[in-house]
């Protein structure tokens, strides 16, 4: 199998620490990955610079393979530096290019500090939008958060709630659901995906008494999907669709805004959740957490979500045939 490319993420965050933890957990079993980072940084495990991804497999049992890309400034834990922002973005771009060239099986991204990148001139709200630009496949990129107990997909992502609601249309909801259903079939091996579509208002609007958005926007999207043969139902009351009894009745929940999707999955499985970008020409996963600047450098960071992201990326690469 080709190795996976792991990006550095925010150098002042926990990326190096969880990368080391993931290597320690996976060194004997794989999947093999290499880190695009500054190999002169302090790591808690043995590291070895490599000149090309093909060298990673031979190095992996004994040391964390690093494709050495020097940082302009030595990182200080917990204190992001805009001078390092171009290197953070370059690592993402290089990982994507390696996948496109068939030299890496997929990309696993460490968390970035969006405010720092924005201050340095980065014009994208986050990873998902940037990856859609440089690795798009003709459809909008879609964020899925996946864990053992739940998969959620937000229709709108990194934007203010008022703007997110204003952007909702039946077509946008249906397009997101179609991309999700296709990915569940082709990459997750679910022959007949079942989608649960969340309502927007309390109790999915109570037949219009709490707003007409569920009647005028969400219900038409579900009708469109069902007419196309997609097993979708909704709008469902968001306060009950994530309960233990409800979750087994669907394969993914289509949610209408960021927190409607991320609150339930992070509550259920903060350590094991994985961010997957659907609709790309490459495989991309990421841990379902941020840079954790408050604990960076303390040795307290939990690599579980990154380990899950690496394992899922390998599974998706095998399904795509890029492994």
Residues of the binding site: 127-128, 158, 203, 258, 266, 275, 284
Structure tokens at 184: 């569940």
171, 285 Cβ separation under 8 angstroms = no
Residue 205 has a pLDDT of 86
CA–CA distance, 40 with 108 (Å, rounded to integer):
21
Residue 188 has a pLDDT of 94
Residue 31 has a pLDDT of 98
CB atoms within 10 A of CB 173: 27
CB atoms within 10 A of CB 299: 10
CA–CA distance, 153 with 140 (Å, rounded to integer):
13
Place of tokens 């309960």: 243
DSSP state of 79: B
Residue 129 has a pLDDT of 87
Residue 323 has a pLDDT of 79
Mean pLDDT of successive 10-residue stretches along the chain, which has 323 residues: 96 97 98 98 96 98 98 95 96 97 97 91 87 90 94 94 97 98 95 98 90 96 98 97 97 97 94 92 94 93 96 95 82
CA–CA distance, 142 with 125 (Å, rounded to integer):
14
CA–CA distance, 184 with 314 (Å, rounded to integer):
16
Through-space distance between the first and last CA atoms of the chain, rounded to whole angstroms: 5
214, 200 Cβ separation under 8 angstroms = yes
Residue 126 has a pLDDT of 81
Return the percent helix, strand and coil in the chain, to nearest 5. 40, 20, 40
- The model carries a pTM of 0.92
CA–CA distance, 238 with 203 (Å, rounded to integer):
7
**Domains of the chain listed by start with CATH number:** 1-138+280-296+306-323 (3.40.718.10), 148-271 (3.40.718.10)
Residue 124 has a pLDDT of 87
177, 232 Cβ separation under 8 angstroms = yes
DSSP state of 204: G
Residues of the binding site for substrate: 127-128, 266, 275, 284
CB atoms within 10 A of CB 39: 17
Residues of the binding site for a divalent metal cation: 158, 203, 258
């Amino acid at each position: 199998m080709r190795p996976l490319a792991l990006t550095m993420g925010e150098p002042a965050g926990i990326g190096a620490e969880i990368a080391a933890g993931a290597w320690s957990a996976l060194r004997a079993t794989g999947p093999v990955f290499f880190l695009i980072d500054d190999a002169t940084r302090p790591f808690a495990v043995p590291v070895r610079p490599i000149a090309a991804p093909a060298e990673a497999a031979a190095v992996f049992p004994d040391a964390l393979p690093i494709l050495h890309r020097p940082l302009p400034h030595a990182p200080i834990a917990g204190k992001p530096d805009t001078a390092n922002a171009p290197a953070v973005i370059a690592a993402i771009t290089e990982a994507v290019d390696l996948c496109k060239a068939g030299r890496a099986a997929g990309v696993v991204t460490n968390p970035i500090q969006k405010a720092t990148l924005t201050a340095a001139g980065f014009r994208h709200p986050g990873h998902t939008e940037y990856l859609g630009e440089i690795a798009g496949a003709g459809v909008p990129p879609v964020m899925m958060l996946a864990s053992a107990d739940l998969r959620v997909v937000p229709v709108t992502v990194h934007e203010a709630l008022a703007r997110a609601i204003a952007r909702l249309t039946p077509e946008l909801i249906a397009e997101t659901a179609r991309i999700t259903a296709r990915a569940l079939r082709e990459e997750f091996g679910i022959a007949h995906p079942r989608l649960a579509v969340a309502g927007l208002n309390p109790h999915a609007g109570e037949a219009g008494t709490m707003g007409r958005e569920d009647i005028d926007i969400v219900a038409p999207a579900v009708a469109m999907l069902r007419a196309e043969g997609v097993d979708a139902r909704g709008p469902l009351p968001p306060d009950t669709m994530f309960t233990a009894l409800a979750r087994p009745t669907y394969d993914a929940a289509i949610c209408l805004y960021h927190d409607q999707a991320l609150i339930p999955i992070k509550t259920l499985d903060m350590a094991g959740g994985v961010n997957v970008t659907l609709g790309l020409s490459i495989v991309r996963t990421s841990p379902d957490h941020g840079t954790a600047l408050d604990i960076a450098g303390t040795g307290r960071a939990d690599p579980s979500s990154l380990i899950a992201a690496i394992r899922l990326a390998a599974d998706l690469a095998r399904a795509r045939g890029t492994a």
